[in-house]
Amino acid sequence: MYKVASASEYLAITGVGIDDIKLAKKAWVLPGQSCTIFDISPVNYTFEVQAMSAEKLPFILPAVFTIGPRSDDIESLLKYAKLISPHDKLSNHVKELVQGVIEGETRVLAASMTMEEIFRGTKEFKQEVFGKVQLELDQFGLLIYNANVKQLVDVRGHEYFSYLGQKTQQEAANQAKIDVAEARMKGEIGAKSREGQTLQNAAKIDAETKIIATQRQGQGKKEEIKVKAEVKVFENEREAEVAEANAELAKKKAAWTRAAQVAEVEAAKAVALREAQLQKEVEMMNAMTMTEKLKAEFLSKASVEYETKVQEANWELYNKQKKAEAVLFEKEREAEAQKALADAGFYARQQVADGELYAKKKEAEGLVALAEAQAFYLRSLLEALGGNYSALRDYLMINGGLFQEVAKINADAIKGLQPKISVWTNGNGGQGLEGGSGAGSIAMKEVAGVYKMLPPLFQTVHEQTGMLPPPWMGSLGDSSQN
């Protein structure tokens, strides 16, 4: 007999010639073989799983699972054909099997989680349940095609979720109050900010006015001292470089000081904000700890009232924090205004220094031009004198009045002196020695003249200085005999 299964069915054939089970969509069923047709379409199972959290709080988890054989895996189909296909998919046997697996895994997972974790992490809780249930269903060849977890339901006498809803409503109301107060605070801060900006703009305009006036004065001075600056710049160039380096150093020091002050303000702000945040977290953690403890012990309306008090305390803490932030913001604006004034003063001083530097550069350029003109003048004179440096020197000394100055200095040096001047001769009136002739007589004549001059010379030295000649040169004669 030739059999064919529909689109959602499989043929399970056993018997002669088949070791275990043969699955097929169409096949010949031979004598001695048995054929069973089973459906693989998924079926919906609805449950209400009762579980208990880690705090021993019961709850109900309504769920709808869509479960069926795994159609894309032959091994899973073989398991399903052996274990599940003999029973109707809607029979109590299959339903109890699936329900038992789901309830068991759900209870085990819920026992390891708190009610808050289950409520806030519904998606993660659902995924954990599906993963663990799927592992158990794999041994039956079943697959969870879809699963929906409905809203968690309180068990009568344990109204945790209703109280949690009241808590959420109260938190929403408190948040609305906080938003209103925050909007009012932003309005006040905005008004203060506008006032601060007005003061800053006024200070900025004043500073710019002073800068422009200083610039005008500097331009006038530049035009006035332009000619003088062209003569003096070269001599003061080094001084200008030193001044520029000092100005750059002062600028860097000002920038470092400004950065340090800003960093101190920011650090103080960060510390204040962090302290307020830590204080808020400590208060919130203390409140949450107390709330959870009261929930576990009583689960009564007293916990809701306590949480309301905690929210009010948090609101007061929030108000204090915002006030502190407003004060800090105002301090920051004052610091920025002082910074703007300091920048304006520094810019004015920089403009004055630039004017002085320009004047010194022009003065140096004038000296360079003068030196070049003198060099051209000297080259022209040297070429005119045929390259004679001695003639050029004499000309410059005569033209510069150097000889007149030397004569004047020598005259001033001996002015007022009364020197004793002695004149002597050899007494021959320029005649030679008697009996002499030729070159020999002339030489002897000169030697005799020298010897005749020595006594008067020694006499004159003695009269003017008091010094006597050495004994080997003889002694002075009577001056009356000379």
State which H helix or E strand residue 110 sits in: helix 92-111
Tens digit of pLDDT per residue, the chain (482 long)?
888 888 888 888 888 888 888 888 888 888 888 888 888 888 888 877 777 777 777 777 777 888 888 888 888 888 888 887 777 666 777 778 888 888 888 788 778 777 777 766 667 777 777 888 888 888 888 888 887 777 666 666 656 666 666 666 677 667 777 877 787 777 778 778 888 788 888 778 887 888 887 877 777 777 777 767 676 777 777 777 777 777 788 888 877 788 778 777 777 787 778 777 888 878 788 777 777 776 666 666 665 676 777 778 788 888 888 888 888 888 888 878 788 777 777 777 887 777 788 878 888 888 888 888 888 888 888 888 788 878 877 777 777 777 677 777 877 777 766 665 555 555 554 444 444 445 555 656 666 666 676 677 777 777 766 667 766 665 555 544 44
Nearest alpha carbon to residue 95 among 136, 67, 75: 67
For 439, phi then psi, to 5°, come to: -65, -35
Q: What does the block give as tokens for 140?
A: 């039956």
pLDDT of residue 348: 72
Phi, psi of 12, deg, nearest 5: -110, 110
Give the separation between CA 172 and CA 463, rounded to whole angstroms: 131
Q: Which amino acid is at 47?
A: F
| Torsion of Cα atoms, 244 then 248 then 250 then 256, to 10° | 180
Structure-token match 């080997």, residue found: 472
Ordered by where they begin, the domains of the chain are 39-157 (3.30.479.30)
Asked whether 232 and 320 are in contact (CB, 8 A), the reply is no
Please state whether the predicted TM-score (pTM) of the whole model is above 0.75: no
> CB–CB of 70/132 below 8 Å?
no
Distance CA 343, CA 337 (A): 10
Sign of CA dihedral 115, 116, 117, 123: positive
Give per-residue burial for 294-316: e unless 16+ CB within 10 Å, then b: bbeeebeeebbebbbebbeebee
- pLDDT for 479 equals 46
Q: Which amino acid is at 193?
A: S
